[in-house]
């Protein structure tokens, strides 16, 4: 079988919360077929009953190769193919350099970096024999700013793993490009999700001030750009990082 007939089958990781949860809702509203993967239970709030036929939810720990392979196989089994992967699953760490130890660093690396590799490897192995596809990984503005640790910005472990994801996505873009598979990344600025829920008001105000638009992002604003990167309108974009941060890449 080639790509799914309508080219609208997505595997979305991190789908239980935040940007991933917003993505599955946007996709379903647009008629896409979606396999939603997460370690947490995936809630169905805001999803119309008639859209449920186009949704499969699965439990998947992206740091485990068997889970990633199963996620791809489950998607293909449910919907007859796999066209795009939106990989949002990730964990945060605000520990400062003095608090951070090797165990915390390794935990972040396993989920954020190795997880990004394993889901891309599993999808790539399917897509290369089935007409290509598109994959989007997720960086973070903190990989540019350096973060600072503490409440309100990623610490060294988070920042380093997000930088590694960007190097990884370029390597995978080169590896998979000859097979017709595009690999891109979105790099969100601070966005209102569970990940930022315990930021203090002061931290959120400071982050908002650093953007040109003067506000924090919404999850659907990040998800929409990732979805665009999978569309045919982005057919000549690969190995790119798209900042989605309200103009937070420059200035103070």
State the number of binding residues for ligand NAD (CB under 6 A).
29
In the annotation, is 158 catalytic?
Answer: yes
Asked whether the beta carbons of 217 and 246 are under 8 A apart, the reply is yes
The answer to whether the CB of 86 falls within 8 A of the CB of 22 is no
Q: Does 188 bind ligand NAD (CB under 6 A)?
A: yes
When asked if residue 14 is in the footprint of ligand NAD (CB under 6 A), the reply is yes
Query: Residues 82, 126: contact at Cβ < 8 Å?
Result: yes
Outline where the chain has alpha helix (H).
18-29, 65-79, 102-108, 115-127, 142-145, 156-176, 201-209, 219-230
User: Interface with ligand NAD includes 95 (CB under 6 A)?
Assistant: no
CA 177 to chain centre: 19
Residue 78 exposure: Cα atoms within 13 Å on the Cβ side: 23
User: Closest CB to ligand NAD among 4 and 95?
Assistant: 95
Shortest CB 105 distance to ligand NAD, Å: 15
Return the number of the residue (36 or 173) whose C-beta is nearest ligand NAD.
36
224: contact with ligand NAD by CB under 6 A: no
Whichever of 132 and 147 has its CB closer to ligand NAD, that residue is: 147
Q: 182: phi > 0 → left, psi -120 to 50 → alpha, else beta; which? A: beta
- Least CB distance to ligand NAD at residue 100 (A): 17
CB of 250 to ligand NAD, least distance (A): 17
CB of 11: closest distance to ligand NAD in angstroms? 12
DSSP-derived secondary structure letter, 114: I
Distance CA(223)–CA(231), nearest Å, equals 13
- The stretch among 8-16, 44-52, 72-80, 169-177 that binds ligand NAD (CB under 6 A) is 8-16
222 and 244 Cβ atoms separated by less than 8 Å: yes
51 binds ligand NAD (CB under 6 A): no
Q: Is 61 in the site for ligand NAD (CB under 6 A)?
A: yes
Residue 51 or 243: the one with the smaller Cβ distance to ligand NAD is: 243
CA dihedral sign, ordered 162, 164, 165, 169: positive
* Euclidean distance between CA atoms 98 and 149, whole angstroms: 10
Pick the piece of the chain touching ligand NAD (CB under 6 A) from 43-51, 59-67, 96-104, 226-234: 59-67
Residue closer to ligand NAD, measured from CB, 3 or 168: 168
What is the contact surface with ligand NAD in residues (CB under 6 A)? 13-14, 16-20, 38-40, 60-63, 88-91, 111, 115, 138, 140, 188, 190-191, 193-196
Give catalytic residues, as residue numbers.
158
């Amino acid at each position: 079988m080639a790509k799914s007939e309508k080219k609208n089958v997505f595997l979305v990781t991190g789908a239980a919360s935040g940007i991933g949860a917003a993505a599955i809702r946007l996709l379903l509203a647009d008629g896409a077929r979606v396999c939603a993967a997460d370690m947490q239970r995936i809630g169905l709030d805001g999803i119309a009953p008639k859209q449920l036929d186009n949704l499969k939810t699965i439990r998947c720990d992206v740091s485990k190769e068997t889970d990633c392979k199963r996620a791809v196989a489950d998607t293909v089994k449910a919907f007859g193919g796999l066209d795009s992967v939106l990989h949002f699953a990730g964990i945060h760490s605000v520990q400062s350099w003095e608090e951070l130890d090797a165990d915390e660093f390794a935990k972040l690396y396993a989920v954020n970096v190795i997880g990004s590799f394993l889901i891309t490897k599993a999808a790539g192995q399917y897509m290369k024999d089935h007409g290509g596809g598109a994959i989007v990984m997720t960086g973070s503005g903190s990989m540019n700013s350096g973060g600072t640790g503490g409440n309100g910005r990623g610490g060294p472990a988070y920042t380093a793993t997000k930088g590694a994801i960007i190097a990884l996505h370029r390597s995978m873009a080169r590896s998979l490009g000859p097979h017709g598979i595009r690999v891109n990344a979105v790099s969100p600025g601070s966005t209102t999700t569970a990940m930022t829920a315990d930021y203090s008001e002061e931290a959120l105000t400071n982050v908002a001030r650093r953007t040109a638009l003067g506000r924090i992002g919404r999850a659907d604003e990040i998800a929409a750009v990732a979805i665009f990167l999978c569309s045919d309108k982005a057919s000549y974009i690969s190995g790119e990082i798209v900042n989605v941060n309200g103009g937070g890449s420059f200035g103070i």
